[in-house]
Amino acid sequence: MSDTSECRICGGAVHEFFDFGRQPLADAFVDPDGGAEEFFHRLAVAQCESCTMVQLLEDVPRERMFRTDYPYHSSGSTVMQQHFRATARHFLDTELRDPDAFLVEFGSNDGIMLDTVHRAGRRHLGVEPCKGVAEAAAAKGIRVRNAFFEESTAAEIAAADGPAQVVYAANTFSHISYVDSVFRGVDALLAPNGVFVFEDPYMADIIEQTSFDQIYDEHFYFFTVRSVQAMAAHYGFELVDVEHLTVHGGEIRYTVARRGARTPSPAVGLFLEREKAARITERDTLARFAAAVDKVRDDLRAVLERCKAEGATVAAYGATAKSATLTNYCGIGPELVSYVADSTPAKQGRLSPGSHIPVRSPEEFAADYPDYAVLFAWNHAEEIMAKEEGFRRAGGRWIVYVPEVKVV
């Protein structure tokens, strides 16, 4: 674990604008019968004064975060299944039209995007460090390498398979503090006119929605178009396209190419102008964001304490990684939220990181509905509320906190 006051990208000075204190690993669910001691780290976020990149001050060793028993499966959400199938079809219609084209995805998880590429008969390779989800992808017939993506890994892939027309990452690149090695790897692997495409949470959406629970150990960088443009240029690449996505509470899909290989889309300039006008990463904007975070904390606790005083039953829905930041920063434990329902079998029967709220199945939620349910998985609100319509019909009410605390 290391702590720095220099930007990991350009070496510029960084200034801290929020400290969430000691936090657990967001996806390290706890065995209620005991076991390994929980690992905690300081979760503080800062911004570079030079390239404007927002980043954590302290990183957690990657082997601690991305373990064999890593519980998140991308295919667990119908919305994300549809998103990744559409992404794969887009690549097949554009960059992968040549029957011999090659795509590499790092952080490929259980292969939900690569499955469509595989079925289309295109050459592909997933690079996934978590053994459990890598094995789930391999069981579908997907080529997958159980490893971290970095310069040495990419060089070995290039030597074995040749250049890639597409290097892709979804909700992965922002997790990696050592972007220098990743860019060197992309340089070694990417075809001359190939593209490096990645999609990650958008700092502008985080600020606008006060979705501070997007800040946790696995999210090391928080990208804007301006900071990604600067990062790409620093490593000899060029940002050539951007697209806003609605998944996961708001993301940007960035397309990066070798410098001069492609003409940048007008969307790049458009987003840069929008960010400048909105003063996304100006100090006063970040200060207002910090104040809004504390207001959500105070308002949510007030609602939950009122429910407790009135004798109402309260559960939560979605044992997400992001909810670890919410519960631990806001001081929410089983005394305020009796349990959290989640459809992931690997999480059920365990306790949420740090806050130790029991995780139960959606079937248990439906068997005896609580009076209120805090929607931890707010980025899947439409899907969950449709699935759990019986909760509303039974008189249950949702408690939401993005962008503000409301009972609906």
Domains of the chain: 310-407 (3.40.50.720)
pLDDT of residue 61: 84
Angle at 126 between CA 147 and CA 346, to 5 degrees: 75
Distance CA 164, CA 306 (A): 56
pLDDT of residue 72: 64
Give me Rg for the CA atoms of the chain.
Answer: 21
Interval 6-55: pLDDT, tens: 999 999 999 999 999 999 999 899 999 987 789 999 999 999 999 999 99
pLDDT of residue 195: 98
pLDDT of residue 1: 41
pLDDT of residue 172: 94
Q: What are phi and psi of 55, to 5 degrees?
A: -155, 160
pLDDT of residue 69: 67
Tell me which DSSP letter residue 242 carries: E
Q: State whether residue 266 is helix, strand or coil.
A: helix
Chunk the chain into consecutive blocks of 10 residues (it has 408) and report each block's average pLDDT, rounded to whole numbers: 75 96 94 87 96 95 73 76 95 97 96 96 95 92 96 98 98 95 98 98 97 95 98 98 94 98 98 96 94 98 98 97 97 98 94 97 97 96 94 98 97
Q: What are phi and psi of 281, to 5 degrees?
A: -115, 25
Distance CA 18, CA 30 (A): 27
* Residue labelled with tokens 């579908």: 140
pLDDT of residue 4: 54
Distance CA 313, CA 107 (A): 39
pLDDT of residue 70: 62
Q: State whether residue 119 is helix, strand or coil.
A: helix
**CA nearest 71: which of 359, 364, 385?**
359
Q: Are 128 and 107 in contact (CB under 8 A)?
A: yes
Strand order in the sheet with 40-48: 14-24, 40-48, 54-56, 221-222
pLDDT of residue 71: 64
Tell me which DSSP letter residue 264 carries: P
